[in-house]
Amino acid sequence: MREYPKYAIAAVGAVLILNDSIILVKRGYPPAKGRWSIPGGVIEAGEKIFDAAKRELYEETGLTANPLGIVYIINDVIRDAKGNIRYHYLILDVLFDSKSIKGVPKPGGDAIDVAWISLKEALERSDISSTTKQLITKLIKNRYYLLQVEEMEFSLI
């Protein structure tokens, strides 16, 4: 249950930048319906972070690329008018290698449109999600600094 969850939901964002433009999708469903944001979605049970990011990138944009690492982590809490937590996502934003891009942009999944938008323009537009603007600001400030993340898998004996 994504709306009014008991716990935060783990998700990924797929960050793809080419020539100072970033690939964004226009959302067709809440919580960001009608707004442009980073392609992404929920990590499926058993799925690795980079695999989830690659899947979401392809499903929502039709593009493939190689992940480089995590560039930002967002604890996104959205409350309703009464102050109750309506959505809570912990989003791991994965930067992709622009030299490895394959495919032609086309919207899919819950994305109703896809476009390359300049980083500067994205910060100025009112139809870009606030979390996307936060991410872009951090990317520009830190020049795409990668966080080191090690994916581990354990089995119970």
Residue 154 belongs to a domain: no
- HEC string of the chain equals CCCCCCCCEEEEEEECEECCEEEEEEECCCCCCCCEECCEEECCCCCCHHHHHHHHHHHHHCCECCEEEEEEEEEEEEECCCCCEEEEEEEEEEEECHHHCECCCCCCCCEEEEEEEEHHHHHHCCCECHHHHHHHHHHHHHCCCCECCCCCCCCCC
Rounded Cα distance between 120 and 136, Å, is 9
Grade residue 155 by pLDDT with cuts at 50, 70 and 90: very low
* Contact predicate 132/84, CB 8 Å: no
Residue 70 belongs to a domain: yes
Q: What is the pLDDT of residue 1?
A: 73
Residue 56 belongs to a domain: yes
Residue 80 belongs to a domain: yes
The domain that contains 74 carries what CATH number? 3.90.79.10
Residue 91 belongs to a domain: yes
Q: Above pLDDT 70, what percent of the chain?
A: 91
Residue 94 belongs to a domain: yes
Q: Read off the pLDDT of each residue in 57-72 and give the average, rounded to a whole number.
A: 96
* Contact predicate 87/78, CB 8 Å: yes
Residue 77 belongs to a domain: yes
Q: How many domains does the chain have?
A: 1
Q: pLDDT per residue over 101-152, tens digit each?
A: 999 999 999 899 999 999 999 999 999 999 999 999 999 887 765 555 555 5
* Contact predicate 123/25, CB 8 Å: no
**For residue 91, which amino acid is it?**
I
Residue 147 belongs to a domain: no
Which residues span the domain enclosing 61?
9-142
